[in-house]
Amino acid sequence: MHVRKTWKTTVVMFLAVAAVTTVTAAFYFNYAATACCTVAPLSSSSLLQEPSNAAAADNELSRSKLVSSAVRISKLYAVCETRDHLRSPADRDRFSRRRRQADDSTSVNVDKNAGNNYSKNGESETARDGDIGNDTALIYFITPTYPRREQIPELTRLGQTLMHVSRLYWIVADDRPDCSLQIMNLLPDFSIPYTYIASPMPSIYKRDPDAMPRGVSNRRAALNWIRLNHNINDSNAVIYFGDDDNTFHLDLFKEIRTTKKISMFPVGLVGEYGVSSPIIDKGKVVGFFDSWPAKRKFPVDMAGFAINVQLLFKYPYATMPYKVGFEEDRFLSALGIRLDEIEPKAENCTRILVWHTQTAKKPKPIVMVRSKATLPGSLATLLDQVTMLGIGGVYAVI
């Protein structure tokens, strides 16, 4: 009898120690996520300043001079490249040439009124030139991405949308252990201030391909970068999560820019209902319309909300959980959000300004050739480009 009691006591003590160890490990893992890659904090205005004439001259020397920081390695992510300035002189010339070519090709339909520099949605047509004052809130646009054959074309499409948005800082977080040369070559083409991060998913979460928390490591890394780089006293910035395959109306950026704490709005092409959205009555959120409530306090899509940057500093340990389907809900709950604090946008959540579009995934094709040296004309060079971009491959039989 005494032996049985001793055995039960030992088991209970072992389980208690295991539980305490697990909780402690989880706490320090979350803490470590906010304690890497320390750099000097910047205000939202300093992130979007044009370089001085002296700095501009240095920027022309080489592309490497435009990289404001070398790759900073941590156990969680690596900052591959940061470009804080709006545009180098070389970028400005290239952008101007493209703008002139576009104007020439569409001269019949373009209004040539030189005084009209603003589109009807309120975003400046010359926003990338820094014409908007610094009193306009900065938008941190976080894009999780991962290597696949559609990655470069989808980032290209998204980048050409973001080119039209004033005071936007793009954080591209890539689910890979190293930095992609293709992405580093692509991002400067849009003349958007950006940071490119390599943020691989921990291998422990890859065991079940059908239940992988995709994009979580990317978003966590981006949030950590903002915590380390944004001035804690500057509330003039908004954070938004935009996937690389989603579609965005330019009015969305005008709507979210005025977010004081948290704003929400409908997302199209989500779930069985075709839309996910807060329900508004008398200007207040009274519920949610979503085909998968799943006992979530905030059944919303990742693209359906924006938060003021100050929430990250008010709740320094709030982050995305590695739990499929509950990323948004647990994150918003960790930020202490209340229902009566939600700011409805998009005409009281009656307009759809963002769509959860998805590109059909197809396997990478392999082109069989007898020998690349025998390919006619430009074909060999073109197939090398196809291989480099990851949209196909070439296999030489000989």
Catalytic residues: 328
CA dihedral angle for residue 41, residue 43, residue 48, residue 50, rounded to 10 degrees: -80
Q: Which residues of 161-197 are buried (b: 16+ CB within 10 A; e: fewer)?
A: bbbbbbbbbbbbbbbbeebbeebeebbbebbbbbbbb
Place of tokens 């400005």: 92
Place of tokens 């060999």: 380
Cα 103 → chain centroid: 30
Let me know if 285 is exposed, middle or buried by CB neighbors in 10 A (0-12, 13-18, 19+). buried
Distances (CA, A) of 128 to 11, 124, 306: 64, 8, 22
Q: What is the C-alpha separation between 141 and 164, in angstroms, rounded?
A: 13
C-beta separation of 66 from 188 below 8 A: yes
